[in-house]
Structure 1
Amino acid sequence: MIERRIGEAHPRLPLPANGQEDDPAAFLAWLHDAIPLAGHLGIRDMHRQGDSLSWQLALTPNLNDKGTGFGGSLTAQTTLLGWCWVTLWLRRQGIERDVVVAESRQRFLAPVTGDYRLTCTPEDEQGRATLAASLQKGGKGRIALVQQLWCGDTLCLEARGDYAVLPEKPA
C-alpha cells in the first residue's frame, strides 16, 4: 500500500499487453490504493461481460441507520463503477488518460436489504464508438453510462453519469 498525499497523483497501473483485459483482482487491489474509499465499500468481485462491468458488493459496510443501504455509499459506488468502466475501456485500447465524472444523477427505487450487484453499461450502444472517434479527433471525449443496482431480482437504484476523458498532458 502506498501512502497517499493530498495533491499528489497516485502512480498509474501499467497497461495490459496489446489490448488484453486487466486482471480483475490486480485492478481492484490498485483501485483500493489509488482511491482509499474503494477499500471500504464492500466490493467483493468484479466481472466484465461484453459492454457490461459489474461488481458484487456486501451490504454490511454500507448500512444506514435503518439497516438498509446508505444512499451516500450507493451513490459513491455508482460513480466509481462508471469511472472504472471508462478507465478499463481506455486501458484495453492502450490509452493512459485521466477520467473524471462530469455529471451524475440517481433514482432510488427500493431499499437495499441484502448483498447486491451493481452493473454499468453505456447508455447508447454507439457510446464506445463515439468516444473513440472523439479521442482520435480532439484528444478528449465523453461517454454517458448507466448503472443499475440489483438486490436479488429487485432493481433498487438506477444512476446515470457522464464521464469525461481529459486530453493528454503535455510532456
Structure 2
Amino acid sequence: MREIGIPHPRLPLPPAGGEDDMEAFLAWLGEAIPMVGHLGIQSMRRDDEALEWRLALSPSLNDKGTGFGGALAAQTTLLGWCWTTLWLRRHGHDRDVVVAEAGQRFLAPVTGDYRLVCTPEVEDGPERLADRLGRRGKGRIALVQRLWCGETLCLEARGDYAVLPAR
C-alpha cells in the first residue's frame, strides 16, 4: 500500500543500450501509481518513437455509455509521462518527469475499446531533449497523444513534459 508523501522505489535502469520489458514496466507503474490498475490498459508497446497503449473502455465509461473525458485526459497525460520516462531510461537517465502543461481536444465519442498513441510533437524533439539534458542537466519535450477507436480519431492531446535535474 502506498503512503502519501513517500516516493515509490524506482525501477532499476535497463542494461546499457537495452530496453525496458514493457510488462515489467507496466507492473511497476501499477504499484507506483495506484490508479493505473483501474485504467483498463491491456497492453503497451513501443515502435520506434511511438508508444502505444491498448485499452478497454469499460473502466472509463461515463453516464452516456461512452468514454469519460476526465479518464481519457488522465490517460493521455500518463501516456506522455510514460513515453518520457521510458525514453530517459533507454538513454541511461534515472530522472524525475513531471507534466508541465497539458490539453485535449475531444473530436468524437469513444464507443468501444481503443488505442492511445504518443509521439513527439516535432521529429527532432528527442534530439533537442538529449541536447538540453547534456548542456543544462534538465529539459522539456512536447508530445502528442491520439486516441483511436477503430479508424476514428476521437481525441488529440498535447503535453509538455519536464525532465528535472538529477537529485
TM-score by structure 2 length? 0.99
Aligned partner of 2:47 among 22, 40, 49: 49
Q: Hey, which bits of structure 1, 4+ residues long, moved more than 6 A?
A: none
User: How much has 1:118 moved relative to structure 2?
Assistant: 0.2
Q: Which position in structure 2 is the counterpart of 1:89?
A: 87
The 5 A counterparts of 1:1-171 are 3-169=1-167
Query: How far apart are 1:21 and its partner, in Å?
Result: 1.1
Q: Structure 2: any 5+ residue segments left out of the alignment?
A: none
Q: How many residues align?
A: 167
Gaps (5+ residues) in structure 1?
none
Cα distance in 1, alignment partners of residues 19 and 53 from structure 2? 16
Q: Deviations over 1:24-80 (max 9, x none)?
A: 110000000000111100000001001100000000000000000000000000000
Query: TM-score with structure 1 length normalisation?
Result: 0.97
Secondary structure at 1:17's aligned position in 2? coil
- The amino acid across from 1:124 in the alignment is V
Letter of the aligned partner of 1:97 in structure 2? Answer: R
| Percentage identity across paired residues of the two chains | 72
Asked if 2 retains the 8 angstrom alpha-carbon contact of 1:19 and 1:91, the reply is no
In 2: Cα distance, 1:128 partner to 1:46 partner: 20
Q: Distance in 1 between matches of 2:76 and 2:155?
A: 9
Q: Secondary structure at the match of 2:8?
A: coil
